[in-house]
Structure 1
């Protein structure tokens, strides 16, 4: 939307990235790495290989505080990476922080990536995880109780999956439906199939083309390698006519200097219009998923703190 253009005024530290970052700033590059788990005081972290998607085994990394007893609510976390990169290491820091500060079990999904495994492979992997996690067997194995709360969410492509998966759960009568949806720097529609009634409200996808992390060119690159038909609702969930019943609440973290900004702001308003309580945090002048790229910056630590507060609110 035109009134949101001022949100794209770049934060000085991110201009000419990474040259203006404070000296010594850690910059994490997006990779497909699957590294041995690094232990951390206060956390129990392990990996589960109980879920099958076709002939493939889908690894889940589980995070839980050492002092937790009994079954806990679930946060099912889906990493970003444009459907073609990323992995269990991508948001490991975020998953650790959630598990340390909120009484939940966090499960991070290692779904298959394009172009080797094009659409809908990754989506179907996550859906199989949901089917298992909503079963008594899945909850028993992971020490979770979804009646206490179930948050589904992720960053970037993970947020895109989240919206489509919530719809798939409704369509396939997979219960319980999520208590809350967590959308972090998320996308909701291929630019070429934006509904005509919303085109004037989604301008950033063409106007914001100078930010680190995501540009018009990189959106096209990721879309081509993912291979989803632009009008497939699993990829462009904005095309659904209704969003009623997807969850009770939704929490949005939206980057101001991000081509995906406007569709996230619009999607929040659409959820609210259909009775889903929604909140948003907008980060003025900061680029797509900045907390993943430089998690130790003050702005990133503040955003990660917002995630903790958002998850707590989603579970209330």
Structure 2
């Protein structure tokens, strides 16, 4: 397991950097549940569709595709962050646009249902049902995708957690076409209270960086408590023992954060 503890002490210039930004330029996490009208962008076709899920409800996908590409594209299915309780299609709209502009891939952002109105596993199952639909002939035809060219699943924070769980379930049930790649952005995969004993001396950020910008131990406890319908925490590290035959993955983690780093 790699050691990242030295990143817990940020460079002095970075500590003071946010305090010296010009007025109106302070970055925002954009964590709202807003669902705004789509703003057109040159070079992109952006539209929304509804996908049925298991309880006879439907989930909205926002689709991003390069206007110049009418052929069947590889798929990047994306799940936003927000601690399972907030966030939505607007949260990472800029990110999805940037990916679709730079890479010839169809980006589909999932508007899964949120806690506390919808406790675990509703949002997770929404996302998994969308993955299954995207893999089906109907999904591929509707989206105009070619999953033999790539079927990538990814997300930020809560979305990265869903990505991890779905990658295991998709493998176990033999999803065809299979997921070819997974992307973890600022993922948190293990609640601090259920850290495996053999990793207690390594998963330390949640204890040592309690004043991290944007996310603290108190925030983590709040999000988990709001999400879960009982006290049974689900952790990829604990519940899954077999990591064979999983797709290739790439991870991006904040260096100064209380988010537990992935193993």
Interval containing the TM-score (normalised by the shorter chain) = over 0.9
1:14 deviation in Å? 5.8
Are the structure 2 counterparts of residues 95 and 205 from structure 1 closer, same or farther at C-alpha, using a change threshold of 3 Å?
Answer: same
**Aligned residue number for residue 310 of structure 1:** none
Residues in 1 aligned to 2:204 and 2:222: alpha-carbon distance in whole angstroms: 19
1:12 deviation in Å? 5.0
**Aligned residue number for residue 4 of structure 2:** 4
Residues in 2 aligned to 1:228 and 1:102: alpha-carbon distance in whole angstroms: 39
Task: Quote the RMSD (CA, aligned, Å).
Answer: 1.9
Residues in 2 aligned to 1:210 and 1:203: alpha-carbon distance in whole angstroms: 14
Conserved? CA contact 2:18–2:26, under 8 Å: no
Are the structure 2 counterparts of residues 49 and 3 from structure 1 closer, same or farther at C-alpha, using a change threshold of 3 Å?
Answer: closer
Residues in 2 aligned to 1:125 and 1:156: alpha-carbon distance in whole angstroms: 17
TM-score (structure 2 length as normaliser):
0.93
Q: 2:243 aligned with 1:243, yes or no? A: yes
Residues in 1 aligned to 2:63 and 2:6: alpha-carbon distance in whole angstroms: 40
1:18 deviation in Å? 4.9
What's the CA shift string for 1:213-245, capped at 9, x where partnerless? 11100000000000155655xx41111112111
Residues in 2 aligned to 1:23 and 1:205: alpha-carbon distance in whole angstroms: 31
**Aligned residue number for residue 204 of structure 2:** 203
1:73 deviation in Å? 0.3
Can you give the 5+ residue segments of structure 1 that lack an aligned partner in the other structure? 267-316
Conserved? CA contact 1:190–1:231, under 8 Å: no
Conserved? CA contact 1:60–1:109, under 8 Å: yes
Are the structure 2 counterparts of residues 77 and 210 from structure 1 closer, same or farther at C-alpha, using a change threshold of 3 Å?
Answer: same
More helix by share: 1
Are the structure 2 counterparts of residues 68 and 22 from structure 1 closer, same or farther at C-alpha, using a change threshold of 3 Å?
Answer: same
Residues in 2 aligned to 1:120 and 1:46: alpha-carbon distance in whole angstroms: 27
Conserved? CA contact 1:193–1:230, under 8 Å: no
Runs (4 or more) in structure 1 with deviation over 6 Å come to none
Q: 2:140 aligned with 1:139, yes or no? A: yes
Are the structure 2 counterparts of residues 199 and 177 from structure 1 closer, same or farther at C-alpha, using a change threshold of 3 Å?
Answer: farther
TM-score (structure 1 length as normaliser):
0.78
Count of residue correspondences: 261
Conserved? CA contact 1:80–1:86, under 8 Å: yes
Residues in 2 aligned to 1:160 and 1:198: alpha-carbon distance in whole angstroms: 18
Conserved? CA contact 2:158–2:188, under 8 Å: yes
